[in-house]
Structures are given as C-alpha cells and as structure tokens.
Amino acid sequence: MADAASALRLPGLWLAQWRARRATRAGTAMPLPIHEWSGAPAGAGGLPTRIAGFDQALVWVVVGLLALGLVMVYSASIALPDAPKFARYASTHFVTRHALSISIAVVAALLAVQVPINAWEKSAPWLFVAALLLLALVLAPHVGKGVNGAKRWLPLGLMNFQPSELAKLAMAMYAASYMVRKMDVKERFFQAVWPMAVSLGVIGLLLLAEPDMGAFIVIATVALGILFLGGVNGRMFVFSFAVLVGAFCLMIALSPFRRDRILAFLDPWNPVYAQGKGYQLTHSLIAFGRGEVSGQGLGSSIEKLHYLPEAHTDFLLAVIGEELGFIGVAIVIVAFFWLTRRIFVIGRQAVALDRIFAGLMVQGIGIWTGAQTLINMGVNLGALPTKGLTLPLLSYGGSAILVNLIALAIVVRVDIENRLMMRGGRA
C-alpha cells in the first residue's frame, strides 16, 4: 500500500510502467499492457519512432461542424447589410471574417498540438492569472469594447477578443492542476475547496460586471465538474453546488433585468414580453416551426431577414432548424453528443494511464463543450432562459472559434500521448 501510494504521488508516471520496472529489478518479468494503435515499430529504448496516430474521427467531426458553421453563418448574415445598422458592410462581410477567424484558429491549433501536456500543466496557474488580468482589463475605461450594453471584448484589429472564452480553457487547466496538487487533502472541505471557491468568486465578479452570466455558468460548471471527477467528497460537492445555485437565484432575484428574462422565458407569448424580453425566443420558435421535418431549404429562412436578432451568433441553430429542418438539427445534436462523449473517453484513457492532470483537463473541456452546447440549444428551443452564449464551432465569433480549436487541439495532443504510452513509449 505504501508503494502504491508513493507511485500515485509521482507526477506524469504511468503506474503500470513503474510496477514493471520494479518487477524487472526484482528479477521477475511483468509485461506492460501494450495496445497496438498503429503499425509503427518501437525504436530504441522502447520509444516509438513516430506518432502512433490520433483520433481522426474526432478531427473530421470538428471539420464538418466548422464547414457547416461557415455555410450557415453566410446564410444567416447575407441579408444583414439591408439594415441601417450594417448598411456599410458588404453581404460577405461576416462570412469573410468568420473564414479568417477559422484560418487563424486552425494555425493556432496546429501549434498547440505540438506542445507537450506537461508544459500545459506547468503553465496552467499562469494562464489562469492571465485570464483574470484580461477579464479585468476589458472593464478598464477606453479599453474594452461594448456591444448591446455588454462590455466583453478587447479590440485587436483582425478580431475582437473575448477574455471570457480564454477563461473557460484556463479554468479547465487550473482546476485540473489544482486537484492534482491537492490530491492529499481532497477529503478535507476547507483545505480542498476554499482556494477554488475564491478563484471562482473572483471570476464571477469580473464576469457579472461585464455582464456575462452565461459564461460564468459555463465556467462554474467546469470547475464543479472537475472537483467532482477529481474525487472531492460527495457531501462537499453537493454543498458547493447548493451554494452556487443559491448565488444564481439571489442574483436573479436582485436584478430586475434578469428577473424579466425569467418571466419572459416562462411566458414568451404574453403581449407584455412578446415585443420585449421574449422577442428573440418567440421568433426562434417560429423559425423551428417553419422548418418542420426537412426545412425550407438552404438560404430560404424568413426569420433571418431582420426578424430574429443575432441570427448568425446566439440563434444560429434556429436558422439551421428553419432551413434544414428537424433532420439538420438532429444531425447537429448527434455530432455534438458524439464529440463530447469522445472527449470524455480520451480523458478517461488518460486517467487510466495515471495522467491525472491530462485526464481531468480533457474531461473539463468535455464539460465545457457539452454544457455550452446544451445551454445554447436549450435557449434556441425555449427550454432555458435567454443567455448570450454561442454554439461552439458553428456560431460567428472569432475568439470563441480560436479558443475552441486550441482546446480541441489539446485534446488531440492528449490522445496522441495516450497512444504512445499504450505502445510502451513516453508521452
């Protein structure tokens, strides 16, 4: 028991390899559980001569969602220049910027996949601090850019960067790193939870000042999910969850703006809300109703013609429902379900290989992807109150696409290192 406990405290070491080396020194053979993922032979010292492959299906699903998003952003935004607000823009303005954002994000992802996971682990606390500083900077006078009453963006020329997107990835990394460092005190509530609670509280204050409650809900979900997966005591988790839910209820009760959104969500067709807080929801539901089973046809949406606000960002799924129908929406839902599930499988493989940080981080990215997708779809379908959250990989938004692809590149990197280790090499 003492040997096993000391092995678990050795960061980055595969438990089976550690036991095998001890068995070899003791004069007994203990084969490693090697699984052949490719035909590449192992090189000298047990290290593979080349990468043992990666999850190509995951990459192709991501490429497919990006391609669909590019088409639908063009369809949803092509008529925007007809409105006075966008009169100086060309009909291809948004799709061109979206394509540029995807190009930049792909290059960033190709660079991110080259970085070893142990380097991400070392930099996790610093990345979290950088995210906090950027969240504070966006609130500084004459620095952050405001849109529709929310101050969430830093203008960077080619794109407007939204620090809350970086904060989602930073929280997944920081929470995973924190759980690895606090593994020995995870059964003691205050020692295990209070630093994470303070960190989450600081992020919450900064995000609610923008305001961006949707991003805070996603980040809080990621933090709680990693605490639970990291083995925090069940009673601690339930208590933390109850405190967070209570805080959300208090914020809604004390904010007339948020309270009106909840009332509009409960009865969007009420004349009091139909032309106000419930306007987006009612027109989103109309779009889904017009789509029926097979849709009106690509480019044939009526709601995108200045009836449905933010059709190319938050409510892109409604345009997909109107133009591609139930079939198109079902395909998108299945694709995101498969993608989220596959991310969790890669995370569990990493945990099984005693790569706790990599496993928790990847599962945190899975929680982020799944939760944000679920919230966006719920908002579009009228199952959840309206929130300013985009649909990952599909909606228009440069910083969201950039950070999403970097996060998925890190998942692919973890998968690559998992396969190397299962062939007897090193990550």
Q: Is residue 136 pLDDT above 80, yes or no?
A: yes
Question: pLDDT tens across 333-387, in order?
Answer: 999 999 999 999 999 999 999 999 999 999 999 999 999 999 999 999 988 888 8
The percentage of residues in the chain with a pLDDT greater than 70, rounded to a whole number, is 83
Mean pLDDT for 132-157 is 80
- Tokens representing 123? 């930099």
Is-contact 9 181, C-beta < 8 A? Answer: no
Q: Quick one: pLDDT band at residue 14, thresholds 50, 70, 90?
A: very low
Task: Supply φ then ψ for residue 354, to 5 degrees.
Answer: 65, 25
Secondary structure (3-state) at 161: strand
What's the pLDDT at 419?
A: 92
Q: Which residue has the higher pLDDT, 204 or 414?
A: 414
- Tokens representing 404? 């999403």
From the list 55, 58, 56, the residue with the least C-alpha distance to 338 is 58
Mean pLDDT for 75-89 is 87
From the list 356, 48, 125, 394, the residue with the least C-alpha distance to 231 is 356
Question: pLDDT tens across 377-392, in order?
Answer: 999 998 888 887 899 9
Average model confidence (pLDDT) across the chain: 82
Helix or strand (DSSP H, E) at 145? strand 145-147
Task: Say which residues have a Cβ less than 8 Å from residue 172's Cβ, sequence separation at least 6.
Answer: 222, 226, 361, 364, 365, 367, 368, 407
Angle, in degrees to the nearest 10, between helices 398-422 and 356-380: 140
Mean pLDDT for 257-262 is 78
Is-contact 355 12, C-beta < 8 A? Answer: yes
Question: pLDDT tens across 279-293, in order?
Answer: 889 999 999 999 999
Buried b (16+ CB within 10 A) or exposed e, 193-227: beebeebbeebbebbeebbbbbbbbbbbbbbbbbb
What's the pLDDT at 368?
A: 96
Q: 48 pairs with which residues across the strands?
A: 42
Any idea which of 298-312, 319-333, 357-371 has the lowest mean pLDDT? 298-312
Q: Is residue 4 pLDDT above 50, yes or no?
A: no
What's the pLDDT at 320?
A: 97
Q: Which residue do the tokens 């991110």 mark?
A: 112
Mean pLDDT for 308-317 is 91
Q: Is residue 20 pLDDT above 50, yes or no?
A: no
What's the pLDDT at 293?
A: 93
Q: Is residue 140 pLDDT above 90, yes or no?
A: no
Q: Is residue 160 pLDDT above 60, yes or no?
A: yes
Q: Which residue do the tokens 């203990």 mark?
A: 30
Sheet arrangement for strand 145-147: 145-147, 150-155, 160-161
Mean pLDDT for 218-238 is 83
What's the pLDDT at 402?
A: 95
What's the pLDDT at 425?
A: 65
- Tokens representing 39? 């035909």
Whole-model pTM: value is: 0.83
Question: pLDDT tens across 414-426, in order?
Answer: 999 999 988 876 6
- Report how far residue 215's alpha carbon sits from residue 251's, in angstroms, rounded to the nearest whole number: 15
What's the pLDDT at 239?
A: 74
Query: Within 13 Å, how many C-alpha atoms sit on residue 379's CB side?
Result: 26
The percentage of residues in the chain with a pLDDT greater than 90, rounded to a whole number, is 47
